[in-house]
Structures are given as structure tokens and as C-alpha cells.
Structure 1
Amino acid sequence: MKSSVRVKRINGKEYLYEDTPYYDKEKKQIRHRSRYLGKNVDGKPVKKVKAPRNTYHYGEFLPLLDTVKKLGLEEILSEYLSDEKARMLLALSFNRVVRPLPFYQAASWYETTWLQNEWGLDLSGPRISELLSMIGESSIPDKFARRLIERDAPQGSLIYDITSISSYSRQIGLLEHGYNREHTGIRQVNMGLVIDKEKTIPLLYDVYPGSITDVSTLLNTVKKMRAMGVQDCTLILDRGFFSTGNIDELMKSTLKFVVPATYQLKTVKQLVSKMHRSINDPNNLHMYGKETLFVKSVELDVGEHCLKGYCYYSLRKEHGDEDSFYRKLHDLKARLERFELKKWMKPYHVFQETCAGYTQYFTWKLVEGRFQVKIKKNAVAQRVNKMGLYILFTNDTLSWDECLSTYKSRDLVEKGFDILKNDLEARPLNIQKESTLKGLLFVNFLSLILKMRLLRMMKDTGLHEKYTIDSLLFELEKIKKIELEDGTQVTTELTKKHKELLKPLGLCA
């Protein structure tokens, strides 16, 4: 099929695009790919701006564009979207990584980048809102995840966890009050995330109403992973997913798993008490790196299944946890006793908000308008007795150190959530439409792929010892593209530091 050139008006200016039709075998219909040619000047494409000379941000995009190419992200997006919309999503995700801004400022940022000269996109507020809403109302995020999993072919361990993202909006049904991990009291949406441990990239995510608990999300995620072709993998879970129902479903599936026991079950409490009396036998002593550990094999009946695993006891962890716990109790008690209650304040609510997560360790009463606080000895003793001791269960044939090493890789998902909610500024959201919220989460998901991949590249090359992601991008940002009067583009001279950064990453400017 022959290509043709079409004119497109953006903000009152005309641009030329090459339109190439092709036959989509999957959808059994003719589709079109468009390629930006340049500004329309007397019917000819010219990649030239009005100003006689311009400088564009360029270097910081080199590792991001390389990641997009190697993971096939633009190729996957273009299967379900036009090239223009696919690049809009990539541009927005680049912004989340490089310089997170409110989307109404994205156009101003984009005009200063080399991307504008190459892609010629319209990133005005209305166009972004339209794109996010369209993504949120479609099945594109799931289709994208399926194709990413097909290309990634995960065979090792997958890490799953869930986090809360808060929003001030009152018009989105997904936003509900629930267990808020940030203790903000704001309504929230819950986001589950699956990360490939080996390649350290997120593969898929799910969005749930804010009141849904961790326990009830796992079954749907396992079904989705199965439907997307995930087979021989080990699922690494947090203790929030340990329940009789989840264990039953996991044991019935062919997925392997590693999960710590929760102290909510009576049988687990009994097992912990038993282990606390016998775990520190010198015959149970092992070395894990430079750490001394006491390790013992354990079994536990959960529903119809007998779980096998290991009990670990760390003196270093016990002392560290105990010190941190007592410091927290002291600080909370002192804070309550210093608190000056106003007449309109409700003491119970003040206590709950101040001691969120620690209310079970205090009793209180008001004396002359002030809190008088006592610490519950028995509740504290029960907590302290558990410190340094934890139990991991698995249905895989792992040794004690393999099981522990596998579980410790959960740090990846914690890092992912930290990036998502802080570096990418995904909280608290101020969005009025559910479809727009879902579209924004997809952009942040793409951004998370880019940033976690870049972090992995830095660790593999040793750059993480000298640079953070932000400091590395800051140095690369000094590499500019300059457009001369005749439209010629040149790259600024590379410094020694630039070469030291680009070479290990396999990049060239």
C-alpha cells in the first residue's frame, strides 16, 4: 500500500505527516501509521522553527529512548494506538521521570525538548485530558501488559504487593476510605503491582476500590497472570496476603510462592510461641552473609493444607526493632501529653490520629483538659516477644537461605512504590474523572518501567555507587541539541564526565 502526505493543523500551524496504510491481521482491517515530516512551508516539510537559533534539552532522554527501544514499548503501544497517541504517552511518561510537572504545564516543558522537534506533538491540556480519559475507558493497559509479558517471558520470581494512592476528588467511585498506608485519612484507590525480579521491571498492575483489602486482591491477580501466559514463576508476597483462602487458592494453582506468616491467625501465634522457646538452640545457628541467624524448619496446617517453611531468629533484628519500637512509644506518649486540646476537638479522634497503628499499646484519660497516658505492659510484651523472629512459608523446594534470599528481593516492589508515589508525584491526586485517573495511573506505570530499568542499568554498571537516578539525569541534561539558522542540528560537545556516563550504559549522543 502506498504512503501519502497529509496536512495537520496544530495550534493554528500546519505540519506534514507521512500516512502509511497497512493491514492489521489481528483486527482484520486497514490501519494507518503516521510519521512526522516537518512544518508545512509552501507544501514542503521543513523541520525548522521561527527563531533563528534554539537550544533543546536532549541528553536526559538518551537512556529513556534506549529503554523504550530495547523493551519495545513504542512498538507495543502502536499496536493499539496511533503513532501520535503512542508518542504522547511516552512523552508524558518521560516528563514523569525527568521533571514531574502538572500536566497543564507539560506543553511548556515539551517545547524546550528535542522531542518537540522530532515528534511534533500537541501536548495541550485538553489533548492530554482526552488521551488519559480514552486510555482509562479502554482495555489498553491490560493489552499492553499481556504483550509486555509475552516479550519479557518471565520465568523466575514475580513480586506482588498493593499500595494506596490518595485523592481529594469526591466524584470518583473507586475512591473509598480503607486501610490507608500513608495514614492521611484521605479517600484512596488501591493499586496492585507485579514486578519481574530478574529484569526488575513492573509487568502489570491492577486498580481496586480503596476499601478492598490486600487479601481479597490476590485471587484476581493470579487469574489475570494466568490469562496473560505467566506459568513457571514464584510469587513473592507480603504477610498481608497470608490467609486461609489465599493459601488454598495458591496451593491449588501451579504457581510457587513465598509468603511470611501473619500473627493474626491463632495457629501462627501458637507456632511463634513454640519457636521462641527453642529457636536459639546453638545447633540451629547459621550465617547469612555476615549476619548470624538461628533457623529451624517448621510446618503449619492452614485449612486443608500442610505448609512447610522456615523460622528465622535474628538477634540484630530483634535489638534494632526493639529499640525503634520503644522510641516510637516514648515519642507518641510525649506528643499526646504535650497536646493542647481545643474546645472543639474530640479527644478520641485526636488520640486515634496521633497514635495510628499504635493505639493498642496505650490507655488514656483526660485530666484538666490534658491527656494522661499509660503504656499497656502486656500488649507491649506480646509485641516485643515476636521481635527478631519471623516465619516464611513456601510450596517450592527451597533451602532456608534460598527461601530467605527470594523473600528479601521484595525490596524491589517497595522501591517501585516509593518511585511511583514520590519521585513520580502520584500522590495525592486531584482528578475529577475515574477514566482520567486510570489513564494517569497507566502513564505512571510506563514511567515506573523506565525508571526501574534505568536503576537496574546503573547497578549493573556500577554507576549507582556515585550517582542517583536524579543526579545522573541532571548531568546528562547538560547535553543539548542546538538548531542553527539553516535548520542544521548539532549536539553540544561532550565533557569527560558525559563520556564516563554514556559509555557504561552503551549510549552515544
Structure 2
Amino acid sequence: MAIINQLDKRSGITYVYESVSYWDKEKKQPRSKRTLIGKLDPDTGEIIPTDGRCRKTRDNPEDAKATKPGPIPIERTNRRFYGATYLLDEIGDTLGLTEDLKKCFPATYKQIQSLAYYMILESESPLFRFEKWSALHKHPYDNNISSQRSSEIFSDISEENKNKFFTLQGRRRSEGEYWAYDTTSLSSYSQTLRQVQYGKNKEDDRLPQLNLALIFGEKSGLPFYYRKLAGNIPDDRTVQNLLADFMVLGFQKVKLVMDRGFYSETNINGLLKERLKFIVAVQTSISFIRKEIDTVYETIRSFENFDEQHELYATTVLAKWDYRQERPNKKDALTNKKRIYLHIYFNIDKFAEDETKFDRKLMAMRKEILDGKRVPEHERFYKKYFQIKQTPIRGLQVNVNEDVVKQTKRYYGYFVLLSNEKMDAMTALHLYRNKDLIEKAFGNIKDRLNLRRLLVSSEKSLDGKLFVSFVALIYLSYLKKQMQEAGIFQNYTLQSLLDKLDIIECFENPGYDLRVGEVLTKQKQIYESLDISPPT
């Protein structure tokens, strides 16, 4: 064993290592293992125990307790921008975000908030530019966070603490509201992330991807849960694990709104088994859905079923679901009939659009056959929709199979929502269309929060960065909702509003309270429109 001193030229600190030599049997050569035991005091020459990351403080709770400060007195004179970060501070207090983050991440919640602020206010800037932004803005942590330190913060965000945060935030959502559930794909160049796989990319990107599942409250307009998935997992395979997560997080009496990609018999049976309320879009190509459409086919286009606001016809049908619950222990299945509601809609404009599109496709395919330019991939279409004959006298004849075409067009213009809660068709449609806010959230994640391409290479950094981005998304979603309700988008975009407030300054002087610079009338109006008191 030997003691080795090594000078770090960047910091000027001399670190002391304990070096132990040993024989490597596999490589058949001597090796050594170094262990950091402290740093050298330049004045006394003594070794100060540390590992460079304050392990001494972590290992000694009494020391940690002693160093926890209260309000930090101002020690230096500063003049920084404050208006936009003050807005985010107030939103964090209103939503209980600051309180919940502090409960779940007591040692790093301020760093998490500051990183989230940076992602919101500097959406196109990489994290290594945080130092410049930090020097110009007042923010919760009020110190620089280096790229290395941000990676450490990301890595320290544990799954247990994330789940605790999801639970706390879920309890703050409106009781009885529907929750919109959807997934999106995030592309990546990384070859080391295990869940980055090739799959059905929702943006037609040819890169491998990671899928992100997200839940939004439809009344609150806020997200409170997410989960990352392997890029090759289809949507309908995610619902069973979602239901399991609800049990772990303690969510009960859940109501879900989901797109048609999540429909499957297994998922519907799972939702019914857990007695959860749901609204799920269903494809009209399913046989039992077509049977129910046939029951209203002649009557749906009546005057009484027309909704002028949405310009479509709608009706609701009470139906029976063939419920099946597998019982592995008993090696059998429990079956019975469950009551469901099918909300059937017919849009005459969509019918005309689909019919015209299909007729053009028929013409193009028929021309391919007549011109002798048949495409192998189109053979099934040829066989289904055409009668092709070749005679010596009349030559090649291609006739449309009218009965098959008529049957295909029969269900154009229809779409169907399946639910197990009694409501009228237009209420169900309104709840379903409200899930558009989750599509906007995906846009915020990819563009505003700079996650269109995942620029991390380790699993822990990815997990942590996604969580901080999720926190930033909560701030953004609340701000956008408030702007929408107050009609602020008539005069400002989100970016122009933040820019308008960002120029408000604050002044810090030793021995004096924080002083805020001039706040103009238009800036006060913005705060008041958002139901926030202007800074004083």
C-alpha cells in the first residue's frame, strides 16, 4: 500500500489517494487500485477527509444538520433580471410544486427548479450555457450549476422519490376529472441507452427512439405522471402497466381518455376489472362496432341528431361487452356481459373527403393495370376491388367490383367512442377532444424543452433529465392555460410574454432587503391577468 498525492491543475487542490497493488490473474500483470481518502491542506500538510463530493457531510448527519442554513443573508452586491423567474416562483407556490419538490428532493430541489427555469426561459440553449444565464438571473439555487454537476443531479433523482412526487401532485388534481393518456416518441442518436429501439415513430423519423407516456388532468390542464418506454412497444401494450402504476401510486376512481391506438379487448377487460371509468376511441373496422353502426345507419342522419356547433350527427347506443377475466390460479376464465355505451358520430364532410380520396385511388390503381405497370405491393388491392379479364378479341378489361366498393364506403365519415359511464354523445366528444392538450404538451416537450433529440448517453442522466423536463412542463402547462383563459394570446405569444417580464431587474445589497426595479403598467397588467401579484 502506498500514499499518492496528485495535483488537480484546474482547481489547484492536491488530492490524496491510497494505492494498493495486486496481481491480475486474467491479464497476468501487476495492477493497482486507487481510493480517494482526502485532500492535502496546503498550510498544515494535513489530510482532510473528503471524496470531492461532500461525502463527509453525507456520512455524518449531525454535520449535515449543522450546516443547513436558514435564509442566506446577502453577501455581495448584485443586479440581475428577476421578472420571469419571479413569475415561475409564484406558479411553483400556487401549484404546490415547490413544496412537493422540497418533500421529495430536500437536498436538490432548488437545483431542480433552477434547471427547469433555464429549460423554459432558454429553450434552445444547451445546459453548458447555464453559467451565463445564472450570472444574469435570480433563480432558486442562485449559484452556477456546471454540466458535470447537472449530470450528478440527474443521476441522484431516484425512482422512489419520483413516485412520491407523482403521488403528491396527483392528489392536487381535480377529483373526478378525466385524465388524458397518450404516448409520443423521442428520437436519439445514442447506441448505449437500452430502451432506445426502432419502432413506429409518430413523426416519421428514421432514427431509433424512446417512447414517453404522459397523463394530463383535463380540468386542471396539468400533467402529473409520465413513464418512459422502450421505443418498440406499441401503445396498446402499455395500459396494463399503467393500471399497475395507479395501484402503486394510490390513485383510485380514475377516469381515462385514450386514443384508438390503446384499444384492445385485453385493455377494455383490464379497465372493467379495475372498475375504472374510460372513454376510448374505437376503429370502425371492428366487426361488433360495424354491427352497432348498422343499427342506426338509417336514422343517424335525422334532424334530431344534428349538432350545429360541431356540424355532425351523433347518437348513443347502449350495448353489451363480452367481458372475460382470466384466472390463472384456477386455470379458467370468468365471463359475463358488461354494459357499455357506444357514441356514434357521422361527419358528412369527412364522408365526402374519404370517398373522393378512395375514388382517386381506384382510378390510379386501374390505370396501373391497364398500362401494364402493376406493383407487387398493390396486388391485394387489385384482387379485392377489380374484376380483371383478358380476352383475345376485347383484350384487357378491368371492371370495378361495385359491391365491395360500396361496402368499403359504407362506414366512411363515421367515428366511434366507447365508454362505460353514462353520458350523452356530445359530452363524450367534448371530453375526448380535450385530450388535444396532451398533443400540445408533447410539442412543448420536444420543442420548447429541447427534447426532440435525446442528447444523453447514460440511463440515469436520461431519467433525471426527463424528470426535470417534466417539472418544467408543469410550469409551462399552467402558464399556457392561464394565458388562454385570460385572453392574453391575443397580444402576446408565450415567448414574448416571458421576454416582456424578463427585463424587470432586482438589486441585492449587503444589509438590505431585495429591491425590485421599475415595473411598467403593461407588465403589472400581465401579472394581474395571470392572477399573480406583481413583484414589490
How far has the Cα of 1:79 moved from its partner?
1.9
Q: Which residue of 2 aligns with 1:176?
A: 197
* 2:198 match: secondary structure: coil
Of 269, 272, 287, which aligns to 2:307?
Answer: 287
1:469 aligns with 2:494: yes
Question: Match for 2:116: what amino acid?
Answer: S
Distance across 1 between alignment mates of 2:291 and 2:440: 33
Q: Which residue of 2 aligns with 1:391?
A: 416
**RMSD of the alignment, in Å?**
3.8
Q: Which residue of 1 aligns with 2:238?
A: 217
Mapping for residues 229-268 of structure 1, pairs under 5 Å: 229-263=250-284, 265-268=286-289
Q: Which residue of 1 aligns with 2:447?
A: 422
How far has the Cα of 1:393 moved from its partner?
0.9
How far has the Cα of 1:474 moved from its partner?
1.6
Check whether the contact 1:247–1:302 (CA below 8 A) recurs between aligned residues: no
* 1:152 match: secondary structure: coil
Q: Which residue of 1 aligns with 2:47?
A: none
Check whether the contact 1:195–1:201 (CA below 8 A) recurs between aligned residues: yes
Check whether the contact 1:235–1:256 (CA below 8 A) recurs between aligned residues: yes
1:278 aligns with 2:298: yes
Q: How has the CA–CA distance of structure 1 residues 33 and 501 changed in structure 2, closer, same or farther, with 3 Å as cutoff?
A: farther
Could you give the per-residue CA deviations for residues 48-78 of structure 1, whole angstroms, max 9, x where no partner exists? 15xxxx5422111232111111222222222
- Which blocks of at least 5 consecutive residues in structure 2 are unaligned? 1-9, 13-56, 58-63, 325-336, 366-374, 384-399
1:497 aligns with 2:519: no
Of 98, 112, 120, which aligns to 2:142?
Answer: 120
* 2:252 match: secondary structure: coil
* 1:194 match: secondary structure: strand
Distance across 1 between alignment mates of 2:473 and 2:461: 18
* 1:493 match: secondary structure: coil
1:69 aligns with 2:93: yes
Question: Match for 1:114: what amino acid?
Answer: K
Question: Match for 1:129: what amino acid?
Answer: S
Of 129, 142, 161, which aligns to 1:105?
Answer: 129
Distance across 1 between alignment mates of 2:525 and 2:359: 44
1:309 aligns with 2:342: yes
Check whether the contact 2:104–2:162 (CA below 8 A) recurs between aligned residues: no
Deviates more, 1:217-226 or 1:247-256: 217-226
Q: Which residue of 2 aligns with 1:409?
A: 434
* 1:139 match: secondary structure: helix
How far has the Cα of 1:160 moved from its partner?
0.8
How far has the Cα of 1:313 moved from its partner?
0.7
Could you give the per-residue CA deviations for residues 328-386 of structure 1, whole angstroms, max 9, x where no partner exists? 989x99xxxxxxxxxxxxxx9xx99xxxxx999899xxxxxxxxxxxx99999888654
How far has the Cα of 1:167 moved from its partner?
0.8
Q: How has the CA–CA distance of structure 1 residues 103 and 361 changed in structure 2, closer, same or farther, with 3 Å as cutoff?
A: farther
Q: Which residue of 1 aligns with 2:534?
A: 508
Check whether the contact 2:74–2:509 (CA below 8 A) recurs between aligned residues: no
Q: How has the CA–CA distance of structure 1 residues 158 and 289 changed in structure 2, closer, same or farther, with 3 Å as cutoff?
A: same
Of 131, 136, 156, which aligns to 1:134?
Answer: 156
How far has the Cα of 1:265 moved from its partner?
3.3
Q: Which residue of 2 aligns with 1:203?
A: 224
Of 186, 191, 194, which aligns to 1:165?
Answer: 186
How far has the Cα of 1:240 moved from its partner?
0.8
Of 61, 76, 91, which aligns to 1:48?
Answer: 76
Question: Match for 1:103: what amino acid?
Answer: L
TM value normalised by structure 2: 0.72
Q: Which residue of 1 aligns with 2:247?
A: 226
How far has the Cα of 1:441 moved from its partner?
0.7
Q: How has the CA–CA distance of structure 1 residues 34 and 262 changed in structure 2, closer, same or farther, with 3 Å as cutoff?
A: farther
Deviates more, 1:71-80 or 1:147-156: 147-156
* 2:238 match: secondary structure: helix
Check whether the contact 1:157–1:236 (CA below 8 A) recurs between aligned residues: yes
Could you give the per-residue CA deviations for residues 426-475 of structure 1, whole angstroms, max 9, x where no partner exists? 11112110111111110111011001111122223222333222221121
- Aligned pairs, number: 436
Check whether the contact 1:34–1:82 (CA below 8 A) recurs between aligned residues: no
Distance across 2 between alignment mates of 1:383 and 1:59: 59
Deviates more, 1:314-323 or 1:185-194: 314-323
Deviates more, 1:99-108 or 1:456-465: 456-465
Question: Match for 1:405: what amino acid?
Answer: H
Could you give the per-residue CA deviations for residues 5-35 of structure 1, whole angstroms, max 9, x where no partner exists? xxxxx989xxxxxxxx9xxxxxxxx968834
Q: Which residue of 2 aligns with 1:459?
A: 484
Could you give the per-residue CA deviations for residues 390-442 of structure 1, whole angstroms, max 9, x where no partner exists? 11111001112211111111112111111111211111112110111111110
Question: Match for 2:309: what amino acid?
Answer: G
Check whether the contact 1:107–1:122 (CA below 8 A) recurs between aligned residues: yes
Check whether the contact 2:239–2:262 (CA below 8 A) recurs between aligned residues: yes
Task: Give the number of the structure whose alpha-carbon radius of gyration is greater.
Answer: 2
Q: How has the CA–CA distance of structure 1 residues 481 and 213 changed in structure 2, closer, same or farther, with 3 Å as cutoff?
A: same
Check whether the contact 2:192–2:457 (CA below 8 A) recurs between aligned residues: yes
- Which blocks of at least 5 consecutive residues in structure 1 are unaligned? 1-9, 13-20, 22-29, 39-44, 334-347, 353-357, 364-375
* 1:230 match: secondary structure: coil
Q: Which residue of 1 aligns with 2:114?
A: 91
Check whether the contact 2:74–2:508 (CA below 8 A) recurs between aligned residues: no
Distance across 1 between alignment mates of 2:320 and 2:409: 23
Q: How has the CA–CA distance of structure 1 residues 196 and 278 changed in structure 2, closer, same or farther, with 3 Å as cutoff?
A: same
1:34 aligns with 2:68: yes
Could you give the per-residue CA deviations for residues 298-350 of structure 1, whole angstroms, max 9, x where no partner exists? 63645545532211012244456678x689989x99xxxxxxxxxxxxxx9xx
How far has the Cα of 1:483 moved from its partner?
4.8
* 2:468 match: secondary structure: helix
Q: How has the CA–CA distance of structure 1 residues 486 and 130 changed in structure 2, closer, same or farther, with 3 Å as cutoff?
A: same
Check whether the contact 1:361–1:380 (CA below 8 A) recurs between aligned residues: no
Could you give the per-residue CA deviations for residues 461-496 of structure 1, whole angstroms, max 9, x where no partner exists? 222333222221121112122457997754332222
1:81 aligns with 2:102: no
Distance across 2 between alignment mates of 1:385 and 1:65: 56
Distance across 2 between alignment mates of 1:110 and 1:302: 59
Could you give the per-residue CA deviations for residues 87-142 of structure 1, whole angstroms, max 9, x where no partner exists? 11111111111112211112221221012xx633340011000111121x542211
Q: How has the CA–CA distance of structure 1 residues 104 and 388 changed in structure 2, closer, same or farther, with 3 Å as cutoff?
A: same
Q: How has the CA–CA distance of structure 1 residues 284 and 392 changed in structure 2, closer, same or farther, with 3 Å as cutoff?
A: farther
Q: How has the CA–CA distance of structure 1 residues 495 and 213 changed in structure 2, closer, same or farther, with 3 Å as cutoff?
A: same
Question: Match for 1:148: what amino acid?
Answer: Q
* 1:119 match: secondary structure: coil
Distance across 2 between alignment mates of 1:462 and 1:294: 31
* 2:220 match: secondary structure: coil
1:431 aligns with 2:459: no
Distance across 2 between alignment mates of 1:95 and 1:380: 56
